[in-house]
């Protein structure tokens, strides 16, 4: 929260998706950091630890979003940062990764999962919930 606003890192290779979600998030008072690849995302978190990360699944490879989430959660500095997966993999390839329960999310190293196109209201509710939970944990020193 460099300027008092929660920072959200958006990771997606689709500039239209980045533009749209950035507009939605900034409209709710969040500060957005953009990355167009997992490598760009890792460089961004080296500069600043965001309050939340939203990542696509299919970028440089089919599972690059999962690989990124695993790397982020394995880093002690980033392990508590919520990760939201937003993907069109089911629509594009007919492969569904829709989690059936919290254990599936944990296996994905994700805190939430959304199919694209996003339902803006549901997405914003989850973002707000995850950021509030993170801020509460920070205040308690967790």
For residue 141, tell me if it sits in a domain: no
Asked if residue 142 belongs to a domain, the reply is no
Could you tell me if residue 86 is inside a domain? yes
C-alpha closest to that of 68 among 54, 49, 48, 50:
54
pLDDT score, position 3:
83
Task: Identify whether the C-beta of residue 91 lies closer than 8 Å to the C-beta of residue 115.
Answer: yes
Per the listing, tokens 């205040």 go with 139
Q: Note the pLDDT of residue 69.
A: 94
Name 126's Cβ contacts closer than 8 Å, sequence gap at least 6.
84, 112, 114
In a domain, 2, yes or no: no
The predicted pLDDT at position 46 comes to 97
For position 15, which CATH number holds?
A: 3.40.50.2300
CA distance 64 to 119: 23
Tell me: the pLDDT tens digits for 50-85?
Answer: 999 999 988 877 678 889 999 999 999 999 999 999
Report the pLDDT value the prediction gives residue 54, as an integer from 0 to 100.
98
Q: 3-class DSSP state for residue 88? A: coil
Q: Which two tokens stand for residue 87?
A: 């993907």
Domain extent, residue 36, equals 7-135
pTM summary value: 0.89
Q: What is the mean pLDDT, run by run of 10 residues, along the chain of 142 residues? A: 87 96 97 97 97 91 84 95 86 57 74 93 97 89 75
Q: Is 1 contained in some domain?
A: no
Q: How far is CA 23 from CA 7, 16, 40, in A?
A: 14, 11, 20
Say how many domains are in the chain. 1
Cβ atoms of residues 79 and 29 within 8 Å? no
């Amino acid at each position: 929260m460099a300027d008092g606003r929660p920072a959200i890192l958006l990771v997606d290779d689709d500039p239209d998706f980045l533009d749209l979600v950035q507009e939605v998030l900034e409209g709710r008072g969040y500060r957005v950091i953009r990355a167009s690849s997992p490598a760009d995302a890792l460089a961004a978190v080296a500069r600043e630890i965001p309050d939340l990360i939203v990542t696509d699944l299919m970028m440089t490879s089919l599972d690059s979003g999962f690989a990124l989430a695993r790397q982020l959660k394995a880093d002690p500095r980033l392990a508590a940062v919520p990760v939201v997966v937003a993907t069109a993999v089911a629509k594009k390839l007919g492969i569904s990764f829709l989690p059936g329960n919290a254990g599936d999310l944990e296996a994905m190293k994700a805190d939430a999962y959304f199919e694209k196109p996003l339902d803006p209201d549901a997405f914003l509710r989850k973002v707000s919930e995850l950021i509030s939970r993170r801020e509460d944990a920070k205040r308690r020193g967790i």
